[in-house]
Amino acid sequence: MIEELGEDRKVSQASLLELDLLMKSRGFTMDQRIKVWHLLNSVIDRSLEPLSPLDIALGAFLSSKGLDYFDSLIAAQCLVRGAKPVTTDQEIIEMIERGEELLSEFEELSH
């Protein structure tokens, strides 16, 4: 979840991809996964925060700083949007706290 994006909290598109991979890797059947996605669709259909190419680029940079793939995408979304993640994951929180420094370093690499 991402907050401070206007009036609502949003669910990161990266979180949905990570959840599907986790379900698949832990042996959920196709029918079970489909049921989960139908249920979630009814709850989060309008509260999804999509990934942009800039999110993915910044995510690649954050991965080089030690975050795993999906955490780096969520942190990137928050940094790009000036938002806060709803998480207890200390690594993501630390990246957000270092936001200005990391964005500056990323910008230097991008030019």
pLDDT in tens, 19-73: 999 999 999 999 999 999 999 998 887 788 999 999 999 999 999 999 999 999 9
User: How many Å apart are CA 99 and CA 103, to the nearest integer?
Assistant: 6
**pTM of the complete model:** 0.87
76: containing domain:
2-110
Considering only residues 111 and 25, tell me which one the structure prediction assigns the higher pLDDT.
25
* Residue 51 confidence (pLDDT): 96
N- to C-terminal Cα distance for the chain?
A: 31
Q: Is the pLDDT of residue 4 over 90?
A: no
CA torsion sign for 108, 68, 98, 2 is: positive
* Residue 8 confidence (pLDDT): 72
Q: How many folded domains does the chain comprise?
A: 1
Q: What percent of the chain stands above pLDDT 90? A: 77
